[in-house]
Structure 1
Amino acid sequence: MNTVTSKDGTKIAYSKLGSGPPLLLIDGALCSRTNGPNGALAALLQEHFTVYTYDRRGRGESGNVAATYAVDREIEDISALIEEAGGSAFVYGISSGAALALEAAKCLPSIKKLALYEAPFVTDDSRQKVPDGYEEQMEALIEADRRSAAIKLFMRKGVGLPAPVVAMMPLMPAWSKLKAVAHTLPYDTRLTIEHQKGRKDTLGRWSNVHVPALVAVGGKSPAWMRNAMELLAKTLPNAKHQTLPGQTHIVKAAVLAPILVYYFK
C-alpha cells in the first residue's frame, strides 16, 4: 500500500500492479481496494498496464480531511493519483465510479482514454426514478449512524432491488464490510442523483467531454441500464458503445479484462 496527498491534504491509499501505460480503476459505491470488483480486474490487467487501484476518500485506508463532501475533492484525488503515475493515464470506472470518472474527464486533460461500465443513470420510465427526498433521507440516516438502514435504502430505492432480496442482505458474510464504508453513500448519491430522475437531458452535462470513451453494459442487465448507457454513448462526442453478452452489473473480470486491453492498447 502506498499513499499520495491530495490537494486538501487528504492521504489517499493506493496499490500498484504490473508494468506498462498507467491505468486507474475507480470503484463504485460501498467498494474499496480490498472489497469490490476492481481487485480481480487489476490482477488480469497487470500484464499490459501499470494498474492503480485506490481507496476513494473516506474508505479503507484513505482519509478525508474535508468537513463536507464535494465532488471536486474526489476529482483532486484522481488528479493526484494520475500525477503520481507520471502525469497522464487511462481511466476505468464502474457504477457510480463511472459517474466520477465522467466528472474527472470533464476537468482533467491528463485522462487520455476513458472506459465506463454501467453508470447507474435512470433516463426513462423503464424503472421507477429515485424518489424525491432520497438524498436527504440518506444523509439523515448516516448522520444518525444508522448504517444498515442506509444500505437498505440504497439497495431498495437507489439500486432498485426487490424488497425480499434487500431484507436478506444482512445475512450475507460481506454485510459487515458494506457497513464499514456505508458512511460514504451520500458521496455516491451526490454523484448520481441528478441523473436518476427518468430524464434524458441531464446527460448533456458531458456533451463536451471529447476524450475517447468506451461505454459498456451487460447484455443481461435491466432495460433501464442498457437504455441509459446507449444514450450516454450517443451523448459523448467521441464514444463507442459495447454490450457484453451474458453479463450483469456484477461483471466478470475475465470477460471485461480482454475488452479493456483491446480498447486501451
Structure 2
Amino acid sequence: MDKILSRDGTLIAYRHRGEGPPVVLVGGSLGTAATEAPLARLLAPRFHVVTYDRRGRGASGDSGPYAREREIEDLAALIASVGGEASVFGVGAGGALSLEAQAAGVPMDLLAVYEPPYTPGAAGLRYKACCTSRLHQLLSGGDRAGAVELYLSVTGVPADLIARMRRAPLWSGLVAMAHTLAYDDALLGDGSIPAGRFAAVTARTLVICGGFSPTPARMSTRALADALPRARHRTLTGQTRDLAPQAVAPVLAEFFARDLYARRAC
C-alpha cells in the first residue's frame, strides 16, 4: 500500500485502482481498505478508485487523542493526492465522516452514503448514550473482544454468528481495531443528525439504505436526506446493513458518472 502524510504527521495507508474520475471509498467501523476492495474492483473499470485504512486501522498510523478534525484532515489529504477533488462513498460511520468532511469544506464532486448510524429521537439518543457508556467501560477495562461483541450485537449480528466469528481467523484483526470503535462513537456525537453543520454540505448527495435494514435505520436515512441541502434518498431492495458490493456498484456508477459527463462537457 502507498502512504500519505496527514496534516498532523500521521501516515495514512491507501490503495488505488483503475483510471478515470477519482472516487474515494470511506469504510465503516472495523473496516479497512481490504474490506472495500470488492466494491473498488467493480468500480475500477470506470473510475480511479481509492481505498484506505482509516487512522488506527490496518497499516495506517494513529495519533492521540482522537478528534473528528484529524480524520477529516486524513480524507482531505487523500483527495488532494488525486487532484484536489473527488466523488466520495462512505459506509456506516464512514458515511458520517464523509458528511462531516464535506460540511467542513473538503471538496467533493458528488457524495453518496450508506446508512450512517445516526439514532434520532429520544429513545434512540438514550440507547446511544447507554452504548457509549458500556463501550468505554469495556475498553477502559481492557476487554477489547467485549467491545467488538458489543458493536456487532448493536448492529444486529446474531449471537450465534458472533460466536462463530470469535473462532474465525478474522477475529484477531477485529479485536486489534477495537479502540477505533470509540473513535466512531465520538464521531457520531450523541447520535442525532447534526442538521446545523450539515446545512453546509454543498455536494449533491445520495443517501442510501437497504430495504431489509431495520426500520430505525431506514427512517434515519430519510431524516438525513431531508436535513441535507441537495440530497435524494434511495432504497436498495433486498439489502441489509451488510451491503453487497454487486448491489451498490451500479447505483454508484450511475450516480458518479454525472461527474464524468460534466467533465467531458467542459
Normalised by the size of structure 1, how large is the TM-score? 0.89
Deviations 1:127-157 (A, max 9, x none): 785253533432342233311111122223x
Confirm or deny that 1:178 pairs with 2:170: no
Task: Pick the aligned partner of 1:219 from 186, 211, 217.
Answer: 211
Aligned ranges for residues 1-265 of structure 1 at < 5 Å?
1-34=1-34, 36=35, 38-64=36-62, 66-124=63-121, 129-156=126-153, 158-161=154-157, 166=162, 169-195=165-191, 202-265=194-257
Q: Which runs of 5+ in 2 are unaligned?
A: 258-266
Contact 1:135 1:193 in 2 (8 A): no
For 2:152, the aligned partner's letter is M
Give the aligned residue type for 1:186.
Answer: A
Q: SS at the partner of 1:91?
A: strand
Distance 2:2 2:194 in 1: 37
Tell me how far apart the structure 1 counterparts of residues 9 and 217 of structure 2 sit (CA, whole Å): 36
Structure 1 CA distance, aligned partners of 2:162 and 2:187?
Answer: 23
C-alpha contact 1:123 1:228 (8 A) present in aligned 2: yes
C-alpha separation in 2, matches of 1:193 and 1:171: 33
Q: Is the Cα–Cα contact under 8 Å of residues 24 and 89 in structure 1 kept in the other structure? A: yes
Deviations 1:170-198 (A, max 9, x none): 23442222112112110011112422xxx
Give me the whole-angstrom Cα distance separating, in 2, the residues matched to 1:162 and 1:124: 25
Q: Secondary structure at the match of 1:194?
A: coil
Query: CA–CA distance in 1 between the matches of 2:16 and 2:159?
Result: 39
Task: Please tell me the residue identity of whatever aligns with 1:112.
Answer: D
Letter in 1 for 2:144: R
Q: Deviations over 1:208-229 (max 9, x none)?
A: 3121000001111111011010
* Equivalent-residue separation in structure 2 for 1:250 and 1:149 (angstroms): 21
Mapped to 1, the partners of 2:151 and 2:138 lie a distance apart of: 11
1:111 Cα offset (Å): 1.3
CA contact (8 A) 1:13 1:55 kept: yes
Displacement of 1:205: 3.5
Question: What SS does structure 2 have at the residue aligned with 1:182?
Answer: coil
Letter in 1 for 2:170: A
8 Å contact from structure 2 (residues 6, 12) kept in 1: yes
- Kindly indicate whether the alpha-carbon contact (under 8 Å) linking 2:89 and 2:111 is maintained by their aligned counterparts in 1: yes
Deviating more after overlay: 69-78 vs 137-146: 137-146
Q: CA RMSD in A?
A: 2.1
> Aligned-pair distance for 1:54?
0.3
- The total of aligned residue pairs comes to 257
Identity %: 40
Task: Tell me, in whole angstroms, the C-alpha distance in 1 between the residues paired with 2:73 and 2:124.
Answer: 34
CA distance in 1, matches of 2:101, 2:125: 28
Deviates most, 176-185 or 78-87: 176-185
In the TM superposition, what is the alpha-carbon distance from 1:169 to its structure 2 partner?
Answer: 4.1
SS in 2 for 1:86: coil
Scaled by the length of structure 2, the TM-score of the pair is 0.89
Higher alpha-carbon deviation: 131-140 or 221-230: 131-140
Alignment partners' CA distance in 2, 1:44 and 1:194: 35
How far apart, CA to CA, are the structure 2 residues paired with 1:168 and 1:203?
39
CA contact (8 A) 2:128 2:190 kept: no
- 1:57 is paired with a residue whose SS is coil
